[in-house]
C-alpha cells in the first residue's frame, strides 16, 4: 500500500479488505446474471466515506445477499480508497487496475496455492475456534453440560462465523406461494371462528331456557304440562 505504483496500491488495499472483512474476491459475470459483486468488482457507489476513517460498504454479494457494514480502517487504506474513487462516476470500479486473477497471482508470490478464498476460509475457521474456546464468546460450556446445551453453544458460536461471512438464510423459491396459502387458510379459520361465535351467542343457556318456560307457564291459559 506504500508503493508508488497505483496497481500495487490497489492490490494491497484489496488484500487488506479481503483479510479484514472476509470478502469474496469477485468474478466477472454474464449480462444475464444478477448484479452481484466481490471485493475486486466494488464500485464507487458501494462505498460511503465517513469521519474517523470509517467506510460503509453496501452491495449485493453472492446469491444477491446484501452486505452492509461500516468499519474503521487504517488511515492509509482510507486515503487510498478515497483516491481510487476520486474523479470517478458512481458506476465505475474502485479497483480498476486489477482483477481476481491478478490478485491471486500476487498472493501466490508469497505462498504456493495461496488465494483470496484461503483468507476467507482461514478467518472463518479462526473465528469459530476462538468462539468455541470461549475466547470471544459471552458464555462458556462445560464437558458435564447436557448435549442440548452443547449444541446450542456450538450454534451460537457458528452464528458469529455466519455474520463474518455474511451468510444469511435466503427466501425459498416457493415462499410467496406458501405465504398465500397460509393467509388463505388463516382467513378461512377466522371466518369459521366468527360463524361459531355468532352461533354460540344465538344459543341460550339452560338457566335462560328455564326462565323463558317459567314465564310462559305463568301466562293465562298456558297448559299445565309445561311445568
Point out the domain boundary residue: 84, 108, 125: 125
Q: What's the pLDDT tens digit per position in 159-170?
A: 888 888 877 655
Which grid cell is 39? 471485493
Instruction: With respect to residue 97, please indicate whether it lies within any of the assigned structural domains.
Output: yes
Q: What does 47-60 look like in DSSP terms, one character per residue? A: EEE-STTEEEEEEE
Q: Residues 214, 118: one domain?
A: no
- Residue 197 is part of which domain span? 175-226
Interval 66-83 mean pLDDT: 95
> What is the rounded distance in angstroms from the CA atom of residue 129 to the CA atom of residue 136?
9
Q: What's the pLDDT tens digit per position in 1-46?
A: 999 999 999 999 999 999 999 899 986 554 545 678 899 999 999 9
Q: Residues 10, 107: one domain?
A: yes
pLDDT of residue 131: 87
Q: Which of 58, 33, 31, 54 is nearest to 46 (CA)?
A: 58
pLDDT of residue 33: 56
Instruction: With respect to residue 140, please indicate whether it lies within any of the assigned structural domains.
Output: no
Interval 90-116 mean pLDDT: 93
pLDDT of residue 30: 47
> What is the rounded distance in angstroms from the CA atom of residue 185 to the CA atom of residue 17?
48
Which grid cell is 190? 377466522
pLDDT of residue 227: 47
Q: Which of 77, 76, 96 is nearest to 18 (CA)?
A: 77
Q: Residues 185, 110: one domain?
A: no
State percent of the chain over pLDDT 70. Answer: 79
Residue 54: pLDDT band with limits 50, 70, 90: very high
Q: Which of 94, 118, 100, 123 is nearest to 9 (CA)?
A: 94
Instruction: With respect to residue 213, please indicate whether it lies within any of the assigned structural domains.
Output: yes
State percent of the chain over pLDDT 90. Answer: 44
Which residue has 506504500 as its cell numbers? Answer: 2
Q: Which of 57, 50, 44 is nearest to 18 (CA)?
A: 57
Instruction: With respect to residue 161, please indicate whether it lies within any of the assigned structural domains.
Output: no
The pTM of the full predicted model, rounded to 2 decimals, is 0.66
CB 24 within 8 A of CB 38: yes
Q: Residues 94, 189: one domain?
A: no
Measured CA distances, 17 to 21, 57, 118, 119, 165 (Å): 6, 11, 14, 10, 13
Which residue has 470500479 as its cell numbers? Answer: 93
Q: What's the pLDDT tens digit per position in 144-161?
A: 889 999 999 899 888 888
| Number of domains comprising the chain | 2
Q: Helix H segments across 50-168? A: 75-85, 100-108, 116-132, 147-164
Contacts of 133 (CB under 8 A, 6+ apart): none
CATH assignment of the domain containing 71: 3.90.15.10
CB 19 within 8 A of CB 119: yes
Instruction: With respect to residue 76, please indicate whether it lies within any of the assigned structural domains.
Output: yes
Amino acid at each position: 500500500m506504500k508503493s508508488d505504483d497505483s496497481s500495487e496500491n490497489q492490490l494491497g488495499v484489496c488484500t487488506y479488505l479481503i483479510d479484514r472483512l472476509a470478502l469474496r474476491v469477485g468474478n466477472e459475470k454474464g449480462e444475464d446474471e444478477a448484479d452481484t459483486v466481490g471485493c475486486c468488482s466494488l464500485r464507487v457507489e458501494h462505498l460511503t466515506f465517513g469521519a474517523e476513517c470509517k467506510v460503509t460498504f453496501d452491495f449485493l454479494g453472492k446469491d444477491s445477499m446484501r452486505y452492509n457494514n461500516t468499519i474503521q480502517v487504517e488511515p492509509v487504506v482510507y486515503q487510498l480508497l478515497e483516491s481510487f474513487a476520486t474523479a470517478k462516476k458512481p458506476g465505475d470500479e474502485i479497483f480498476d487496475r486489477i482483477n481476481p486473477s491478478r490478485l491471486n497471482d500476487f498472493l501466490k508470490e508469497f505462498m504456493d496455492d495461496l488465494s483470496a478464498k484461503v483468507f476467507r476460509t482461514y478467518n472463518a475457521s479462526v473465528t469459530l475456534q476462538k468462539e468455541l474456546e470461549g475466547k470471544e464468546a459471552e458464555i462458556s460450556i462445560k464437558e458435564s453440560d447436557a448435549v442440548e446445551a452443547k449444541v446450542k453453544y456450538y450454534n451460537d458460536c457458528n452464528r458469529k462465523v455466519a455474520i463474518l461471512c455474511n451468510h444469511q438464510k435466503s427466501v425459498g423459491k416457493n415462499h410467496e406461494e406458501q405465504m398465500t396459502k397460509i393467509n388463505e387458510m388463516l382467513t378461512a379459520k377466522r371466518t369459521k371462528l366468527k360463524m361459531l361465535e355468532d352461533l354460540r351467542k344465538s344459543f341460550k343457556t339452560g338457566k335462560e331456557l328455564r326462565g323463558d318456560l317459567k314465564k310462559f307457564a305463568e301466562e293465562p291459559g298456558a297448559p299445565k304440562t309445561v311445568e
